[in-house]
Amino acid sequence: MPPTDHFATEQRIELALSTLNKARENKGHIPTYRELALDYEVPRSTLGHHDHGRIPRKEDNERKRYLTIGEEEVLVNWCLEIQDYCFPPRISLVKEMAIYLYSKRNAEHAKSIGCNWHLAFLDHHPELGIKYSGQIEHV
């Protein structure tokens, strides 16, 4: 089975939901989820979940992140700036900066950072290209 284009699928879901909402407003024939799913080539269950208010997975994952997207951009720019000065940012230093950025937003609700947070951060931002040095990182 070929890989699906999630962006195109989300667009088709939005189109199907807008069609459904227009039909509800006009009080005409209200199509079923099954009809809409066949017309727009989207999963029927997903269409129903979105119509009943379920948050899309991408938005839900963004809500669960330690830093907001803007804070992560600041952290990435900071890491790139440090790399320009030929000073490799250590994982512990990046974590400290992330904690600092988080504490600026949520001073009273301090939340500790996970021990593997940096792995997810690097997955989200491959442009950093941080190289591991066993001797430096395990000191």
Instruction: Give the pLDDT confidence of 26-37 residue by residue, as tens digits.
Output: 888 889 999 999
Q: What percent of the chain has pLDDT over 90?
A: 29
Question: Cβ-count burial of 115 within 10 angstroms (0-12 exposed, 13-18 middle, 19+ buried)?
Answer: exposed
Q: What is the pLDDT of residue 109?
A: 75
Distance CA 65, CA 62 (A): 5
Asked if 7 and 14 count as a contact pair (C-beta separation under 8 A), the reply is no
- Number of domains present in the structure of the chain: 2
Q: What is the pLDDT of residue 1?
A: 41
Q: Answer yes or no: do 70 and 55 share one domain.
A: no
Q: Answer yes or no: do 31 and 69 share one domain.
A: no
Q: Is residue 131 part of a domain?
A: yes
Considering only residues 3 and 41, tell me which one the structure prediction assigns the higher pLDDT. Answer: 41
E strand or H helix at 31: none
Distance CA 105, CA 61 (A): 19
This prediction has a pTM of 0.57
Range of the domain at 125: 65-137
The pLDDT confidence band at residue 98, using thresholds 50, 70 and 90, is very high
Q: Answer yes or no: do 51 and 81 share one domain.
A: no
Mean pLDDT across 109-125: 85
Cβ contacts of 47 within 8 Å, gap of 6 or more:
13, 16, 17, 33, 36, 37, 40
Asked if 128 and 118 count as a contact pair (C-beta separation under 8 A), the reply is no
Q: Answer yes or no: do 57 and 71 share one domain.
A: no
Q: Answer yes or no: do 44 and 86 share one domain.
A: no
Cβ contacts of 36 within 8 Å, gap of 6 or more:
16, 19, 20, 42, 44, 47
Q: What is the pLDDT of residue 4?
A: 63
Q: Is residue 1 part of a domain?
A: no
Q: Is residue 80 part of a domain?
A: yes
Q: Answer yes or no: do 54 and 87 share one domain.
A: no
Q: What is the pLDDT of residue 65?
A: 81
Half-sphere exposure of 100 (CA within 13 A, CB side): 9
